[in-house]
Amino acid sequence: MSEILYPEDEAALAAALREARGPLQIMGGGTRQIGRIAPAQALSTRRVQGITLYEPGAMTLVAKTGTAIEDIEAVLAAEKQRLAFEPMDHRAILGTSGQPTLGGVIAANVSGPRRIQVGAARDFALGVTFVDGTGQVLSNGGRVMKNVTGYDLVKLMSGSWGTLGVLTEVALKVLPVSETQATLKIHVTTWADAVGCMSAALGTPFDVSGAATVQAEDGGFDCLIRVEGFETSVQYRASELTQRLAKFGAVDVVDDPWAEVKDLRSWAALDTVWRISVRPTDSLRVIDLMQDLQKEPGFHCQLDWGGGLIWLGLEAAQIANAQAGLALHQALQTHVAQLSGHATLVKSGLLRDQELCHFQPLGRAIEHVSQTLREKFDPRGILNPGRMS
């Protein structure tokens, strides 16, 4: 790869796009390079950084997209506020270095366990400024929740992975930090019981902010249910949930496990990892398929969002060869498509050099819309070509 381009500001970035004579690999901190693109000149937004506005009273923050997430979180913490969508840090699972940036989080729509309560990253983006594939600077949205300025390009850019434009500034809604939290652990023996337990918790009026299941060392599964808020409210809701969920298994109160759940830190050594999004009621069908296809025992699995987010992982020894891995990947994507879901190969391991679609292939109608948008925003096709294929 040739030397990375580091534009110093938005004007320099726009000039770099106008003057580009070939494809560009758009990156922020370089911590979540998922998928593959054609050979390209790397361009990073890392130096387009800085918080340009922060109004704690209005719970609004505006920052350049090269700003490190940890810097933003430090400023918010000083005012007892936070990024409520709890963005995942991919460094552990992908083995990358550097610092996650605001632009990378919004471009990939990275959302953590609290999504089931507050929404995704895109729901907190009030406005964006970005440079399209022709080098034109565009802005959409604003700095208040009720701002209406035509087409919602904020949502369009969130999750576009740098294929429609290069984000340079984002306005965010932030929320106060909760006074306290409590996490209940319910030990169950089957995936069906785990999904049933999470569904039961989310079906209560107790405002659950986290519902995940991790594999336990004894071969069973630990459901993790979180409630947050004022101390007296948390105590009451945790007590009520303990009574209602006791039918699924023993209930304990545990220390905060959500950084591990969010970042999959214990999965760092795994060779291949998929991120699958389906309806929570369909999560068991995906797990059943994996059990049927993967003859080697012991695949890794974690559920989040009440079962709506499935993480599947394999060790290198569990994949016989690249062809077997490719067949497994294609079978997962086909099955998930039938469930109207999405399967993304986050960590490719043995499949790194295979010709495959890391992201879920789109249906014909959606692919037509997607291609039309790319032609409008990037007529030369220079922004992360092939990234979402």
Assess whether pLDDT exceeds 80 at residue 296.
no
Assess whether pLDDT exceeds 80 at residue 363.
yes
What average pLDDT is seen over the chain? 92
- The alpha carbon dihedral of 369, 370, 375, 377 has a sign of positive
User: What confidence tens digit (pLDDT) does each residue in 70-115 have?
Assistant: 999 999 999 999 999 999 999 999 999 889 999 999 999 999 999 9
Q: Which H, E and C letters describe 88-130, residue by residue?
A: CCCHHHHCCCCCCEHHHHHHCCCCCCCHHHHCCHHHHEEEEEE
CA distance linking residue 85 with residue 119, whole number of Å: 7
Q: Which of 155, 100, 150 is nearest to 123 (CA)?
A: 155
pLDDT value for 104: 96
CB 209 within 8 A of CB 82: no
pLDDT value for 37: 73
pLDDT value for 387: 83
Mean pLDDT on 22-49: 89
Please give the residue that has the higher pLDDT: either 194 or 142: 194
Q: How confident is the model at residue 349 (pLDDT cuts 50, 70, 90)?
A: confident
CA distance linking residue 208 with residue 127, whole number of Å: 28
- What's 256's DSSP letter? -
Rg of the chain (C-alpha set): 21
Q: Residue 185's CB: how many other CB atoms inside 10 A?
A: 18
Question: What are the chain's domains?
Answer: 10-176 (3.30.465.10), 180-262 (3.30.70.2190), 264-351 (3.30.70.600)
Assess whether pLDDT exceeds 60 at residue 385.
yes
Q: Residue 5's CB: how many other CB atoms inside 10 A?
A: 15
User: What confidence tens digit (pLDDT) does each residue in 160-180 have?
Assistant: 999 999 999 999 999 999 999
Mean pLDDT on 334-362: 90
Residue 37, SS3? coil
pLDDT value for 151: 57
Tokens at 54, concatenated:
């922060």
Assess whether pLDDT exceeds 80 at residue 346.
yes
User: What confidence tens digit (pLDDT) does each residue in 269-290 have?
Assistant: 999 999 999 999 899 999 998 8
Whole-number Cα distances in Å, 154 to 21, 61, 100, 326: 28, 15, 20, 35
pLDDT value for 143: 61
pTM for the model stands at 0.93
Assess whether pLDDT exceeds 80 at residue 54.
yes
The percentage of residues in the chain with a pLDDT greater than 70, rounded to a whole number, is 96
Comparing 122-136, 226-240, 289-303, 337-351, which segment has the lowest mean pLDDT?
289-303
**Residue 54 half-sphere exposure toward CB, CA atoms < 13 A:** 18
CA distance linking residue 71 with residue 105, whole number of Å: 14
Q: How confident is the model at residue 312 (pLDDT cuts 50, 70, 90)?
A: very high
Mean pLDDT on 303-321: 92
pLDDT value for 307: 96
Assess whether pLDDT exceeds 90 at residue 11.
yes
The percentage of residues in the chain with a pLDDT greater than 90, rounded to a whole number, is 80
CA distance linking residue 46 with residue 54, whole number of Å: 20
Q: How confident is the model at residue 137 (pLDDT cuts 50, 70, 90)?
A: very high
CB 221 within 8 A of CB 170: no
Helices 231-245 + 191-202 axis angle, to 10: 140
CA distance linking residue 333 with residue 312, whole number of Å: 13
Please give the residue that has the higher pLDDT: either 169 or 296: 169
Rounded to 10 degrees, what is the CA torsion of 269, 85, 43, 130? 160
